[in-house]
């Protein structure tokens, strides 16, 4: 342990298994295997940054080569081998950074070096950090040695210890030859106690609330937490405690209680106060995207507060904030909270589309206020009604499907069901008895051009056995009759006569669908529900209609 180091992440780096926090199950398994002399050919440690992968690798190397033996591993007074491994200068323990040595030649050098036995230890050990950075050829070169490592005259052998943050990038052939350990994020309470202990050793004046904020920001990474604690100790005034307010200013985090206040004011409809409070947050230097993400987190807490504990929020909330959210949540419906979440997610997607992101956030807050008031005043309004009849542009995510196709698919649903049966008949001879069946056959046979012409540019006059009489518009393709005749003969093994008529005939399928859609739109606009929505949301626009399947 580098006690003279000024960097806390190195100064308090664990030197043995007793000092390691948050990985008790991994430690127990490794120690049991060492004591039972059932040591795998290769260890593979994976997890997020800063949870101790490389640290554990070094501790394992020390445990395998400790001069005191496996039953009496060094804990305080370290042997010569353990000291040399800690300082990365042991001749039999080679550490390699795969990020800088990725090629097959580097691995071949390792394999060549492995032929020679250890000089002062039982095991020769190769520690490869960020092993996922190795090339495919380098991994392939390792396979044979991983499965059958060389045995040495002293009774020892070669051991590999891999560390990675990207386990999915390692070939499965390599993973299957290793004993894998997934190092978990360190629990908030355990990391908090660890930081508090170090703070006391460093004689730092840091409040518990500030430490909890550090725990929250570090997201379970010990190294990140120690780096933030280092920064706090440097920033702390000798005559003043480093409290939560200072910590938020130093780390660029704003007070969560302000978000709770905004949420509460939205529910009360206090538009002026909401915008005033948001602008105050914005003036603190908080980016709109950061505000939106933190606001989403608060919405989540309002929805799920009854199933959470203070610790499960990762110290994102303090006791007072937790209690306040719990109190307010009892007076707001789950439906409102879910709609708030939907609106906020939509705004997060839109932030990159506007030049002034701040204005987009203000508009979101005003929408939420009017949405809540609308829901309160219209008791009969419910989500099922909205889904069944209309979807408004500013309330629902964008529709990407073609609306005309949606209506056509509904009206032709029953006719599309027997496609499989029709297709089996087509292998020999197809019987086409109506114009609609002809359109369906074109779709099945992937004759998209013919299908398009029949739907858009053809007006049916009459359809009889092997005879079709049509009129058409100016957009009809000049080769349409020839192409359709050839396909009809191919499908039915019979010749068809296609004639043009001066009679206008029925309107085209597409025009018919457009007329039906216009009637449907007008019907919806006449509904009292639609009028209520337009009254509350003057910029709302009816963009699409869907029929609910019975």
Tens of pLDDT, residues 44-101: 999 999 999 999 999 999 999 898 888 888 888 889 899 999 888 898 999 988 888 8
| Sign of the dihedral defined by the CA atoms of residues 337, 342, 343, 349, in that order | positive
Asked whether 199 and 165 are in contact (CB, 8 A), the reply is: no
Using CB atoms within 10 Å of the CB of residue 76, give its burial: 0 to 12 exposed, 13 to 18 middle, 19+ buried. Answer: exposed
Asked whether 440 and 412 are in contact (CB, 8 A), the reply is: yes
Using CB atoms within 10 Å of the CB of residue 73, give its burial: 0 to 12 exposed, 13 to 18 middle, 19+ buried. Answer: buried
Task: Give Cβ neighbours of residue 382 (< 8 Å, ≥ 6 apart).
Answer: none
| Sign of the dihedral defined by the CA atoms of residues 522, 527, 531, 533, in that order | negative
Could you tell me which of 90, 87, 44 has the C-alpha nearest to residue 67? 90
Give the predicted TM-score (pTM) of the model.
0.58
Helix (H) or strand (E) holding 291: helix 288-304
pLDDT value of position 429:
67
Residue 398 main-chain phi, psi, to 5 deg: -60, 145
E-only strand ranges, 413-501: 458-464, 467-472, 497-500
pLDDT value of position 550:
47
Assigned fold of 188-251: Helicase, Ruva Protein; domain 3 (1.10.8)
Mean pLDDT for all residues in the chain: 82
Cβ of 139: how many Cβ atoms within 10 Å?
18
Asked whether 222 and 22 are in contact (CB, 8 A), the reply is: yes
Of 478 and 17, more confident: 17
CATH 3.40.50.300 domain range(s) in the chain: 8-182
Asked whether 348 and 296 are in contact (CB, 8 A), the reply is: yes
Assigned fold of 256-377: Zinc Finger, Delta Prime; domain 3 (1.20.272)
What is the Cα–Cα distance from 413 to 451, expressed in whole angstroms?
Answer: 17
**Length of the chain, in residues:** 550
pLDDT value of position 365:
92
What is the average pLDDT across 108-118?
87
What is the Cα–Cα distance from 317 to 324, expressed in whole angstroms?
Answer: 10
Most confident of 235-244, 246-255, 485-494: 485-494
Domain 8-182 in CATH 3.40.50.300: yes
What is the average pLDDT across 344-352?
88
CATH 1.10.8.60 domain range(s) in the chain: 188-251
Could you tell me which of 46, 83, 28 has the C-alpha nearest to residue 61? 83
Q: What percent of the chain has pLDDT over 90?
A: 24
pLDDT value of position 377:
54
What is the Cα–Cα distance from 393 to 537, expressed in whole angstroms?
Answer: 11
Q: Is the confidence at residue 316, as pLDDT, over 50?
A: yes
- What would the pLDDT profile of 176-233 be if each residue is shown by its tens digit? 999 999 998 888 889 999 999 999 998 888 988 889 889 888 888 999 999 999 999 8
Confidence category of residue 341, pLDDT binned at 50, 70, 90? very high
Q: Is the confidence at residue 250, as pLDDT, over 70?
A: yes
- Going by DSSP bridges, is the β-strand pair 124-129/158-164 parallel, antiparallel, or unpaired? parallel
Q: How many helices (H) and strands (E) does the chain have?
A: 26, 10
Could you tell me which of 126, 91, 130 has the C-alpha nearest to residue 109? 126
Q: Is the confidence at residue 253, as pLDDT, over 80?
A: no
CATH 1.20.272.10 domain range(s) in the chain: 256-377
């Amino acid at each position: 342990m580098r006690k003279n180091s000024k960097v806390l992440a190195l100064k308090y780096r664990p030197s043995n298994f007793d000092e390691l926090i948050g990985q008790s199950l991994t430690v127990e398994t490794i120690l049991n295997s060492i004591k039972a002399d059932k040591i795998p050919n290769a260890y593979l440690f994976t997890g997020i940054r800063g949870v101790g992968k490389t640290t554990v690798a070094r501790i394992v190397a020390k445990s395998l080569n400790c001069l005191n033996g496996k039953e009496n591993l060094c804990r305080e007074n370290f042997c010569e081998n353990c000291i040399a491994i800690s300082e990365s200068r042991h001749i039999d323990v080679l550490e390699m950074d795969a990020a800088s040595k990725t090629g097959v030649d580097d691995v071949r050098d390792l394999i060549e070096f492995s032929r020679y036995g250890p000089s002062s230890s039982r095991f020769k050990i190769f520690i490869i950090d960020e092993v996922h950075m190795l090339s495919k050829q380098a991994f392939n070169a390792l396979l044979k040695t991983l499965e059958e490592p060389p045995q040495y005259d002293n009774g020892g052998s070669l051991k590999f210890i891999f560390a990675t943050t990207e386990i999915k990038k390692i070939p499965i052939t390599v993973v299957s030859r290793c004993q894998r350990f997934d190092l978990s994020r360190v629990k908030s309470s355990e990391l908090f106690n660890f930081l508090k202990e170090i703070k006391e050793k460093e004689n730092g004046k840091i409040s518990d609330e500030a430490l909890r904020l550090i725990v929250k920001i570090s997201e379970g990474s010990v190294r990140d937490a120690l780096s933030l604690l280092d920064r706090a100790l440097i920033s702390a005034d000798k005559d003043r405690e480093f409290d939560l307010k200072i910590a938020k200013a130093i780390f660029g985090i704003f007070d969560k209680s302000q978000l709770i206040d905004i949420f509460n004011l939205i529910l009360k409809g206090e538009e002026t106060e909401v915008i005033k409070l948001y602008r105050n947050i914005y003036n603190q230097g908080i980016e709109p995207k950061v505000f939106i993400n933190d606001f989403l987190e608060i919405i989540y807490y309002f929805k799920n507060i009854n199933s959470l504990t203070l610790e499960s929020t990762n110290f994102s909330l303090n006791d007072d904030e937790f209690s306040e959210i719990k109190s307010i949540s009892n007076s707001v419906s789950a439906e409102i909270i879910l709609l708030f979440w939907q609106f906020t997610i939509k705004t997060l997607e839109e932030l990159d589309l506007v030049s002034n992101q701040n204005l987009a956030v203000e508009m979101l807050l005003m929408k939420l206020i009017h949405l809540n008031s609308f829901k309160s005043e219209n008791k009969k309004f419910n989500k099922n009604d909205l889904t069944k009849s209309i979807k408004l542009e500013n309330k629902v995510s964008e529709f990407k499907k073609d609306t005309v196709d949606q209506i056509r698919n509904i009206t032709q649903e029953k006719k599309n069901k027997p496609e499989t049966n029709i297709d089996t008949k087509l292998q020999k001879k197809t019987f086409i008895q109506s114009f609609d069946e002809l359109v369906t056959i074109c779709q099945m046979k992937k004759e998209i051009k013919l299908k398009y012409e029949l739907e858009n540019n053809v007006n049916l006059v009459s359809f009889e056995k092997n005879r079709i009489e049509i009129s058409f518009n100016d957009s009809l393709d000049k080769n349409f009759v020839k192409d359709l005749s050839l396909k009809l003969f191919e499908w039915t093994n019979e010749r068809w006569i296609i004639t043009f008529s001066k009679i206008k005939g029925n309107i085209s399928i597409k025009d018919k669908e457009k007329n039906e859609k216009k009637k449907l739109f007008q019907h919806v606009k006449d509904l009292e529900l639609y009028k209520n929505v337009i009254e509350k949301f003057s910029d709302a626009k009816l963009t699409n209609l869907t029929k609910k399947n019975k």
